[in-house]
Structure 1
Amino acid sequence: MPSRSSDLLLMACAVLLTPAAMAASFDCSKAAAGSIEGLVCKTPALSSQDELLAKVYKQAQAKAQNEHPPTLKAEQRGWIKSRDECWKADDKNLCVGDSYRLRIAELQSRYQLLPGKGPVRFVCDQQPAKEVIATFYPSEPPTLIAEFGDSTSLMYAQPAGRGSKYQGRNESFWEHQDEATVVWGYDGAEMKCARQ
C-alpha cells in the first residue's frame, strides 16, 4: 500500500511535468491553447530555447543601453510577431526552433556577446575603395557581420561544398582560400575580393 509521502511525491512530479509548469520567459498560464506560446510552453526543447533567448536578450539590453535610436526592443517585438507566424508552418516545432536559433545567433553577433574573429578586410575587384570588412562569430548557426560602404549585413552560415558560405537578406559572402565572392544588395553584381 503506497504511503502518504509517496502519494505527495507523485503529485509533485505531476505538477512539475504539466505544460503550464514548463519554464519559459513568459507566463505559460496566460498562453492561449493552440498558440505558438502554448506550443513553447508544452515543448521542453522550445521552452529551453526561449529561456536561452531571454538570457541573451538581457545581455544585449545591457550593451544596447546607449543605442540611438533604441531599436532592440522594437526589433524583439517584430521577431515575436514573426515567430508567431509559425502557426502557418507544416512543421511548427521546426519553424519555431529555427526562429529561436536565428534570433539568438543574431543577438550574439550584433551585440558582440561572443568573441568575434576579425575584423578581416577584403579588397574587391582590385579597387581599394571597394572594401568589405567581415567579422565572424561562433554562434549557432555561425554568423558573419559584413560592412560595405555605409551599410552592414548580418549573414548566416550555409552548407557549402568548399570554403565558408554566408547568406544575408540581400547579400552573400563565399570565402575559399583567402578569396571571397561577395554579392551586395538585391540584384547586386558579383565582386571578387581578396583577403588583405
Structure 2
Amino acid sequence: MQMSWVSAVLMTLFGAAAAPLPPDVRHAIEKDYVAEGRETRYVDGSVDLNGDGRNELLVHVVGSTACGTGGCPTLVFSPAGAGYRLVGAIGLTHPPIAVSPQRSNGWRNLVVRVGGGGAKADDVELAFDGKTYPANPTAAAKGITPGNGDSEVVIAPFASFDDTRTLTEGDVPAVAVPIEKPVPVTATNGPSFDCAKATLAVEKAICLSPELGALDRELATTFEDTVRNAAAAQQARQRTAQKVWLGKRNDCGSAADAPVCLREAYRRRLVDLQIQSGRIEAPTPHAYRCKGYEKQPFLAAFYPATDPPAVMLTWGERRALAFVAPSGSGARYAADDVDFWEHEGEITVKWSDTALSCSAL
C-alpha cells in the first residue's frame, strides 16, 4: 500500500497536534498505559474521519507499559460534546499511521504498519464497523480491499523516543508519584533476609516496601530452585552470577529513585532465572543473516509475556538476555553490552565492540 511521504513530512511540520492532550484523553491513557516508575509518551495527530467537520484525535502511545514486541497501541478519539470519547484502541502498531480515501460505515479507513517480534512489517487497512476500529490489526485487515491512491499520513515515523511527548508536557499538571511509607514487616510481606540486621541503604528500602519485600522473597525462592535443579558446574556459575547481580542491585542505593531502580532490577533477574530454569517455555527463535557473517546465524527468541518483555540473543558462542527499551519505531531491547533494534524485518545490533546489520532468513 502506497503512502505519500510528502504528506508525512507536512504532517510532521504542520499537522501534528501542538497543544497538550485534552484532560479526558490524557486520563484515558493514564488509566490503561501508565505505571509507576515507567515513562509513557506519545505522538498525536488530527484528521476528520467521519466528515462532520470536526477532527478526530489519533494518539500513538509508546513506552514499556504500553508496547509489546509487535508494536504500540494507536488510540482514536472522537469529539463528544465538550470532550472526547474513545472509538478505537488498535494494538501493536507502528508509524506511519495514515487514513485511506476509502470509507467504511461513513468513516475513513485507517492504514497502520504492523510487524515486529520477528514478523515482516507491512501496511494494513482497517475498516470502521459502525462502532469502532478493530483492536487486532493483523487479523482484522484480512479481506479489506485497500483504497486507491495515496493515503494521508497523520502520524509520521519518528527517529527516537526523545522525539515523542510526555503526558505532562505543556500546561497539563504532572501526576504525583506516591511516596512509599514504612509498613510493619511480617513473615508474609517481608524480604528473605532479617530486616533487623539490614545495614545497606537498599536493604532498608526493601524492608520499607511490601512489594519489594515480596519480590525479594520470590527471587530467593526462584534462585534456590534454579540452583537445586542445575548440574554441579552450573550451580557454581549461578551463584557467581547471583553475586554479580547483588552488586548491581546494591548500586540502586545511590539512584535518584531507589524503589523504582530496585523494582526493575528484581523483575529482570526473575525473568532471567525463570528462562534459565525452564519455568518459561522457550519459544522458537527467529534467525537472521548478518552482513559479513553470513555463515554464523544470529538468533533471537522473543518473550513478549514476561515482565518486562525480553529477548534471548544468540550469536556464535555469545549469548545475552536483553529487555525491552524505549524506541521511536520498531522493537528495541537492551542489556549491559548489547543493543538490539528490529524494524521492518531488519535488525541492527551493537554487541560490545561489534556492530551487525542483519536480515531475517
2:193 pairs with one of 26, 37, 42: 26
- Give 2:205's match in structure 1, choosing from 39, 44, 47: 39
Please list, as runs of the form range in 1=range in 2, the aligned pairs for 1:88-99 lying within 5 A after superposition.
Answer: 88-99=254-265
Name stretches of at least 5 consecutive residues in structure 2 with no aligned partner: 1-182
- Contact kept, 8 Å, 2:228 with 2:235, in 1: the verdict is no
- Aligned partner of residue 236 in structure 2, secondary structure: coil
Shift of 1:126: 7.3
Structure 2 residue 340 is the aligned partner of structure 1 residue 160: no
Question: Match for residue 61 of structure 1?
Answer: 227
Aligned length: 177
**Which of the two has greater helix per residue?**
1
Q: Is the 8 A contact 2:296 2:315 kept in 1?
A: yes
1:146 alignment partner, one of 290, 306, 313: 313
3-state DSSP of counterpart to 1:118: coil
How far apart in 2 are the matches of 1:119 and 1:89?
35
Match of 1:121 in 2: 287
Q: Aligned equivalents of 1:48 and 1:150: distance in 2? A: 35
Task: Give 1:140 deviation, angstroms.
Answer: 1.2
Q: TM-score, normalized by length of structure 2? A: 0.45
Q: Deviations over 1:144-192 (max 9, x none)?
A: 1111122112211112233221112222222233322222222x23x32
User: CA 1:168–1:46 in 2, change beyond 3 Å: closer, same or farther?
Assistant: same
- The residue type equivalent to 1:192 in the other structure is S
In structure 2, relative to structure 1, the CA distance for the partners of 1:127 and 1:77 (3 Å cut) is closer
Contact 1:105 1:140 in 2 (8 A): yes
- The verdict on how the C-alpha distance between 1:68 and 1:50 changes in structure 2, with shifts beyond 3 A counting, is closer
Q: Which residue does 1:170 correspond to in 2?
A: 337
Tell me how far apart the structure 2 counterparts of residues 114 and 126 of structure 1 sit (CA, whole Å). 34
Gaps of 5+ in 1: 1-16
Deviation >6 Å, runs of 4+: none
Matches for 1:4-15 after TM superposition, within 5 Å = none
CA distance in 1, matches of 2:274, 2:253: 26
- The 2-side partners of 1:136 and 1:111 are apart by 16
In 2, Cα distance between equivalents of 1:38 and 1:91: 14
* Preserved contact between residue 143 and residue 166 of structure 1 (Cα < 8 Å): yes
Do residues 182 (structure 1) and 349 (structure 2) align?
A: yes
What residue in structure 2 maps to residue 193 of structure 1? 358
Q: Any idea what SS the aligned residue of 2:319 has?
A: strand
Q: Percent sequence identity over matched residues?
A: 28
CA contact (8 A) 2:227 2:235 kept: no
Per-residue CA deviations over 1:64-115 (Å, capped at 9, x if unaligned) read 2344472111221222222222222222212222221221122223333212
Q: Is the Cα–Cα contact under 8 Å of residues 20 and 29 in structure 1 kept in the other structure?
A: no
Is the contact made by 1:109 and 1:145 (CA closer than 8 Å) also made in structure 2? Answer: no
Retained in 2: the 8 A contact 1:59–1:113?
no
- Separation in 1 of the partners of 2:338 and 2:252? 25
TM, length-normalised to structure 1 = 0.77
Native 8 Å contact 1:24 1:51 kept in 2: yes
More deviation in 18-27 or 49-58?
18-27
Which amino acid letter does the alignment assign opposite residue 295 of structure 2?
A: A
Query: Which has a greater percent of strand?
Result: 2
**Structure 2 CA distance for partners of 1:94 and 1:68, relative to 1, 3 Å:** closer
Task: Describe the shift of the 1:38–1:20 C-alpha distance in structure 2 as closer, same or farther (beyond 3 A).
Answer: farther
